[in-house]
Amino acid sequence: MIVLRTIHIMDLVFVGVILTLLCLGVSGSHTAHWFPCEFVDEKVYVNKNNHTETQYIHKEAVIQFGNAGDSPLYPAITFLVTASKVDMRLYVDSEDGKLCCEIRRYSTKSTVMRWPAMGAQDYDIWFTCTLRSTKGLFNITTFLRHTPAAPTKGRPDYLHWITIKEGELLTTSAAMVVLTRTPSVEVGFLKETTLHCQFAVDHKLANVSVEWTLQRHGERSKLFSYFSRTGKSEGSGVSVKAIGAGNASFKLRPIRKNNEGTYTCSVLIPPLHGSHNIPLSLSEKPRVSLNVGSSLALTLGEDQKVVCDAEGYYPLDVNIEWYRGPAGGSLTPVFLKNVLHSSHQLHQDGTYSLSAFFLLQPGLEDSGYKYTCRVSHKSLLTPIRKSFILTVTEPDSTMWYIKVFGFIIVMLGILNWLLPQYLAGRKAANKRF
């Protein structure tokens, strides 16, 4: 993490501490004169099996903004970024919190061409400087062009990297920036969202190609492409007119299950190719309900099936638990083990439902206790809780006597009706014989 700040004399006292940290808080934006960074150097070699291997070496570095000929401010590898039409600081807000900075070498691979800017050469060396917000607010990749004093031996590529020594200063110019303010997206079903992708280049009439792809279940599909040289585009979701202003954002509507995956925005301005991966995940909060009210009254000997339903959630993983504890008490509720779960039900919209239930057969000692269903899901910052308080009473003895007395009266009535008929039947039988 880094601090963007203007230079003061007292900074020299603290720089040793600052450069030992990867990340610090942001306190400035486009007015910053420097900030510490990590340079991930590469040592590429061919092993004894004739395979190319890369060793990564992490070094302390400083991004310093100024003019050609400026002296390094600190005893570290300094990337002096001189003025151009591209300034990475313009895209960093002072309220963006903390961010990380990383510099890497960039290979143009088989493409050998002169960048269309003043002072550029065929043997230019390229680097990328990536600023990443730890709050997930943005990712910014800037391409830095360095022109050596003289051509190096061999093609300036990964097998012929120039050696960068500790404390060395490299004068660079920001040639292109590609950024997203949606490094990752979480959205609900049937919602609309825009995946942000923006770019800027240091010269006009650049030959730009823009492409959006979706990686899902191991398969990559092309969603949109545009080539400024031909003016042709394929697919939808991006405004071709907006691309001319550096806006290549992709609009999704409405979001469905098959939209989930990793989206990649690629911007190609030869020989530079910048891209950002934007994972998009779907998330729906569960609706939780009980089949009983906030209070439940049972008579001793009665039982009740209690059900907690979690409905309409996504993704699949959800956890439903039942707890029992004194109402208003300070004791920790006890986890109930006699709980059964239904199988997950898949709905047509792609969401799921699940139930957790148990048979409540309370005793008098259970009266006054609170029973709580707790539902946890990745879409929830805190679990959802639904509770009821149980009241258990003994059977009413008066009602018991009334029931018994009523039963006796009914039985006497039946007997009083059946007995005369029985006697009359006997009497008639005796007369026949």
Summarised one tens digit per residue, pLDDT across range 367-384 is 999 999 999 999 999 999
Around 105, how many Cα atoms within 13 Å sit in the side-chain half-sphere?
25
pTM of the entire predicted model: 0.80
> What is the overall mean pLDDT for the chain?
87
**Which pLDDT belongs to residue 416?**
78
Upstream peptide bond of 151 is cis (omega within 30 degrees of 0): no
**Which pLDDT belongs to residue 6?**
38
Per residue in 74-111, pLDDT (tens digit) is 899 999 999 999 999 999 875 555 789 999 999 988 77
**Which pLDDT belongs to residue 374?**
98
Q: Domain coordinates of the chain in residue numbers? A: 1-177, 182-281, 287-393, 397-424
Determine the Cα–Cα distance for residues 402 and 159; give it in Å rounded to an integer: 101
Neighbouring-strand partners of residue 381: none
Judged against a pLDDT cut of 70, whether residue 31 lies above it is answered with: no
CA angle 68, 70, 73 (to 5 degrees): 140
Judged against a pLDDT cut of 90, whether residue 113 lies above it is answered with: no
Of the two residues 214 and 49, the one the predictor is more confident about is: 214
Of the two residues 419 and 345, the one the predictor is more confident about is: 345
Neighbouring-strand partners of residue 143: 128, 176
Per residue in 245-259, pLDDT (tens digit) is 999 999 998 999 999
- As a whole-number percent, the residues of the chain with pLDDT over 90 amount to 64
In the CATH hierarchy, which fold is given to the domain comprising 182-281?
Immunoglobulin-like (2.60.40)
Of the two residues 400 and 146, the one the predictor is more confident about is: 146
Confidence band for 146, pLDDT divided at 50, 70 and 90: very high
Of the two residues 272 and 97, the one the predictor is more confident about is: 272
Tell me whether domains 182-281 and 287-393 share a fold: yes
Angstrom distances, CA of residue 300 to CA of 51, 345, 408:
79, 35, 25
Task: Tell me which of 98-102, 165-169, 187-191, 307-311 is least confident.
Answer: 98-102
Of the two residues 410 and 337, the one the predictor is more confident about is: 337
CA angle 362, 365, 367 (to 5 degrees): 70
Q: Which of 106, 116, 197 lies closest to 158, judged by CA? A: 106
What is the average pLDDT across 119-129? 92
Which residues, 6 or more positions from 43, have their beta carbon under 8 angstroms from its beta carbon?
54, 55, 57
Question: For 336, which DSSP code?
Answer: P
Determine the Cα–Cα distance for residues 26 and 9; give it in Å rounded to an integer: 19
**Which pLDDT belongs to residue 432?**
59
Neighbouring-strand partners of residue 127: 105, 144
Of the two residues 429 and 323, the one the predictor is more confident about is: 323
> Which stretch of DSSP H or E encloses residue 35?
strand 34-46
Judged against a pLDDT cut of 60, whether residue 10 lies above it is answered with: no
Are residues 30 and 96 in contact, defined by beta-carbon separation less than 8 angstroms?
no
- Kindly indicate whether the domain formed by 287-393 is annotated with CATH number 1.20.1050.10: no
Confidence band for 135, pLDDT divided at 50, 70 and 90: confident
Which residues, 6 or more positions from 163, have their beta carbon under 8 angstroms from its beta carbon?
none
